[in-house]
Amino acid sequence: MPSLLYIGQTPAEGTGSPVVILRHLRRLAADGWQITVIAEHGQDSAACDAAGWPVHPLPARRRPWWPPYRPDSAPFLRSIRTTLIAREIRRRFFASARGPDALFGYLAAHADFAPEIAARLARQTRVPLTLLIHDDAADFARTAKERRVLRRRHAGILRAAHRNWFVSPELAAVYGPPFSLEPGAFSLPPLPEGGARQSAYRPPPADGRPRIYYGGHIWPAQYPLFARLARVIHEAGGRLVLLPPDTPELRAFRATAAPVDTLPLFPSNTEALAHLSSHASGILVSYADTLADMPWVATSFPSKFIEYAHLGLPAHIVAPPKSAIANWAARAAYPNFTTPDDLAPLARWVSDLRDPAVWPALVAPVRRHAATDFSPDKIHRQLTAALIPQSAHRLLHSP
Q: What is the CATH number of the domain that holds 261?
A: 3.40.50.2000
Output the pLDDT for position 395. 43
Output the pLDDT for position 44. 87
Segment 306-317 mean pLDDT: 94
Regarding pTM above 0.85, the answer is: yes
Among 162-176, 261-275, 314-328, which is the least confidently predicted range? 261-275
Output the pLDDT for position 390. 63
Long-range residue pairs from 249-257, CB within 8 A, at least 24 positions apart, any chain: 249/218, 249/220, 249/223, 250/218, 253/223, 253/226, 253/227, 256/227
Do residues 104 and 53 make contact, with C-beta atoms less than 8 angstroms apart? Answer: no
Count how many domains the chain has. 2
Segment 309-313 mean pLDDT: 93
Segment 109-134 mean pLDDT: 93
**Structural domain of residue 307, as residue ranges?**
211-371
Segment 151-159 mean pLDDT: 92
Domain contains 55: yes
Query: CA angle, 12 as apex, 62 and 199 as ends, to 5°?
Result: 165
Question: 170 and 266: one domain?
Answer: no
Question: In the chain, pLDDT over 70 holds for what percent of residues?
Answer: 96
Strands laid side by side in the 102-107 sheet: 55-57, 34-39, 3-8, 102-107, 129-133, 163-166
Question: 166 and 286: one domain?
Answer: no
Among 35-49, 147-161, 292-306, 383-397, which is the least confidently predicted range? 383-397
Segment 178-188 mean pLDDT: 89
Do residues 344 and 351 make contact, with C-beta atoms less than 8 angstroms apart? Answer: no
Domain contains 199: no
Question: 162 and 241: one domain?
Answer: no
* Residue 252: Cβ within 10 Å count: 11
Q: How big is the chain by its Cα radius of gyration, in Å?
A: 22
* Residue 165: Cβ within 10 Å count: 22
Q: Kindly tell me if the per-residue pLDDT of 337 is higher than 70.
A: yes
Q: Are strands 282-286 and 315-318 parallel, antiparallel or unpaired?
A: parallel
Do residues 172 and 186 make contact, with C-beta atoms less than 8 angstroms apart? Answer: yes
pLDDT tens, 61-106?
888 889 998 888 888 999 999 999 999 999 999 887 678 999 999 9
Q: Kindly tell me if the per-residue pLDDT of 396 is higher than 60.
A: no
Question: 254 and 118: one domain?
Answer: no
CA distance 98 to 120: 19
Domain contains 201: no
Domain contains 286: yes
pLDDT tens, 10-63?
998 877 888 999 999 999 999 999 999 999 887 889 999 999 999 999 987 888
Question: 33 and 116: one domain?
Answer: yes
Q: What is the mean pLDDT of the chain?
A: 91
DSSP codes of every residue in 138-188: GGG-SSHHHHHHHHHHHHHHHHH-SEEEESSHHHHHHT-TTGGGSGGGGB-
pLDDT band with cut points at 50, 70 and 90 for residue 398: very low
> Is the model more confident about 112 or about 41?
112
Strands of 220-288, DSSP E: 239-243, 260-262, 282-286
Segment 209-215 mean pLDDT: 96
Domain contains 196: no
Domain contains 203: no
CA distance 369 to 98: 41
Segment 190-201 mean pLDDT: 79
CA distance 206 to 169: 44
Output the pLDDT for position 397. 45
Question: 171 and 215: one domain?
Answer: no
Question: 248 and 314: one domain?
Answer: yes
Domain contains 358: yes
Strands laid side by side in the 239-243 sheet: 260-262, 239-243, 211-215, 282-286, 315-318, 337-338
Q: Kindly tell me if the per-residue pLDDT of 184 is higher than 90.
A: no
Do residues 132 and 20 make contact, with C-beta atoms less than 8 angstroms apart? Answer: yes
Question: 339 and 392: one domain?
Answer: no
Output the pLDDT for position 27. 97
Output the pLDDT for position 138. 85
